[in-house]
A = this chain, B = another copy of it.
Amino acid sequence: MAGNSFGQLFRITTFGESHGEAIGVIVDGCPPNIEIDQEFIQSELDKRKPGQSRITTQRKESDTAKILSGVFEGKSTGTPLTLLIPNEDQRSKDYDHNKDIFRPSHADYTYQAKYGIRDHRGGGRSSARETAARVAAGAVAKLFLKTKGIEIFAHVSSAGTIDAPNLASDDLAALLEIRESNIIRCADPATANEMIEMIDGVRKQGDTVGGKISCIIRNCPAGLGEPVFDKLHADLGKAMLSINAVHGFEYGSGFAGSEMKGSEHNDIFKRAEDSAHVTTLTNFSGGIQGGISNGMDIMFRVAFKPIATIMHSQQTIDKDGNATEIKGKGRHDPCVVPRAVPIVEAMAALVIADHVLRQEAMVLHS
């Protein structure tokens, strides 16, 4: 109810502040007998961790996840699977200056208004550091989905005003290789270079810039999603909008689809030539119809605002309402999207894992 849990049957609860002892997550509802590959979990965390490249924050955290419970002889047992990530490089002193000051477009003011108390160090609970716990949990979800053959792939499709073209390949493994070969995590190499150059410039100006991430979910069976409030895309949308700095979500034809006519937009059904498999000629539906997956690729896009911490001096007020100035200290990212790619994938994996279980509870009896 306090909003630190996500999912119904495959359910996670995260905890921890940026500069506390540790952050972590309980995964409750992971089916038993799933191989829990710790190296894979760590490799996912490594994609989100700070200090990866010159276009990410220089804060150093190894972000090593330790399994506290729920695994026996390398497999999930069906009991709560807890992952703990100790905090290491906590320069809390860096934040003394904002103890009583509300940083513009941060959560300082709203936390104070909500709770009447806040841990100001590094943004406390509002820090995007919390998302490391999501990535760890999402890795567990991915291990579960792997047993179903379901794949998830995201990449940076826009940085600022630079947009990647449609992807040249349909091979997710190949795209993943390209994506991981550049520090912006765009699956189009030429665009990646352009984006990196732009972000370098923004970083040197002490400024930040927003971007967009596109995601594909492949091999979902038809039938996932609940038809009214828990539509599959509504749960994906909530998942994405719960990520720090996200300001928009669209799936399938998205905002552009609202300018189209029905005769253009309708996805014509076709039976695959050699099988009973149903496909559609176009996929403006983004793999979801009436809130339920139809077996086509699920496609969505997420918009991130620019990170609020900039190295410029800005006007603001302190907790007594007095006008004052603040200038970013600490170590921050010039562009949020490269490190957000594994977070988008993790949240998508959590949504799909949850709906796989929900559907399987229902479908056995039909």
Q: Is A32 an interface residue (CB 8 A)?
A: yes
Determine if A338 is an interface residue (Cβ-Cβ < 8 Å).
no
Interchain CB contact under 8 A, A237 and B210:
no
Q: How far is the CA of A346 from the CA of B339 in the complex (A)?
A: 36
CB distance from A25 to the nearest CB of B (A): 9
Find out whether the CB atom of B247 lies under 8 angstroms from the CB atom of A248: no
Of A5, A82, A248, A295, which is in contact with the most chain B CB atoms at under 10 Å from its CB? A248
A227 near B308: Cβ-Cβ < 8 Å:
no
Asked if A307 is at the interface (CB within 8 A of a chain B CB), the reply is yes
B2 engages A308 (CB within 8 Å) = no
Within 8 A of B (CB), among A256-292: 257-271, 276, 278, 280, 284-286, 288-292
Q: Are A307 and B262 in contact, CB atoms less than 8 angstroms apart?
A: yes
Q: Are B227 and A79 in contact (CB under 8 A)?
A: yes
Give the residue of B9, B15, B289, B366 whose beta carbon is less than 8 angstroms from that of A70.
Answer: B15
Q: Are A105 and B223 in contact (CB-based, < 8 A)?
A: no
Give the contacting residue for A11; candidates B2, B208, B235, B252; CB below 8 A. Answer: B2
B269 A68 Cβ-Cβ under 8 A: no
How many copies are assembled?
A: 4
**Contact between chains at A32 and B68 (CB < 8 Å):** no
Give a binary string over A212-235; 1 marks a CB under 8 Å from any B CB, 0 the rest. 100000000111111111110111
Contacts of A286 in B (CB 8 A): 247
The reply on A194 being an interface residue by CB < 8 A is no
Beta-carbon contact of B284 and A78 below 8 Å: no
Contacts A117-B32, A117-B72, A248-B249; is A262 near B362 (CB within 8 Å)? no
Provide the bound-state CA to CA distance between A359 and B2, in Å.
9
A229 to B257, CA, bound (A): 28
> If A1-B29, A70-B15 touch, does A258 touch B109 (CB 8 Å cutoff)?
no
Inter-chain contact B262/A310, CB cutoff 8 Å: yes
Interface check A357, CB cutoff 8 A:
yes
Known: A276-B321, A294-B109. Contact between A209 and B70, CB under 8 A? Answer: no
Write out the residue numbers on chain B whose beta carbons fall within 8 Å of the beta carbon of A110. 222-223, 225, 288-294
User: Nearest residue in B to A3 (C-beta to C-beta)?
Assistant: B226
A14 to B276, CA, bound (A): 35
Q: Which residues from B are CB-within-8-Å of A75?
A: 117
Chain A contact-residue range equals 35 or more
- Contact indicator B4/A28 (Cβ below 8 Å): yes
Contact B237 A3 (CB under 8 A): no
Residue A104 interfacial (CB < 8 Å): yes
Name the distance in Å between A204's Cβ and chain B's nearest Cβ.
13
Q: Is A160 an interface residue (CB 8 A)?
A: yes
Residue A106 interfacial (CB < 8 Å): yes
Q: Is B248 a contact of A254 with CB atoms below 8 Å?
A: yes
Chain B residue contacts of A270, Cβ below 8 A: 315, 317, 323
A256 CA to B160 CA, complexed, in Å: 9
Q: Are A31 and B79 in contact (CB under 8 A)?
A: no
* B82 adjacent to A15 (CB under 8 Å): yes
* Whole-angstrom distance between the Cβ of A230 and the nearest chain B Cβ: 3
Q: Which of A50-58, A119-127, A180-188 contacts B (4 or more CB under 8 A)?
A: A119-127
Q: Which of the residues B34, B68, B266, B269 comes within 8 Å of A22, measured between beta carbons?
A: B68
4 additional A-B residue pairs with CB within 8 Å, beyond A23-B69, A109-B289, A242-B291: A13-B13, A114-B292, A229-B238, A278-B317
Q: List 8 A-B contacts (CB under 8 A).
A: A2-B9, A4-B80, A5-B229, A78-B115, A207-B261, A250-B255, A263-B310, A271-B317
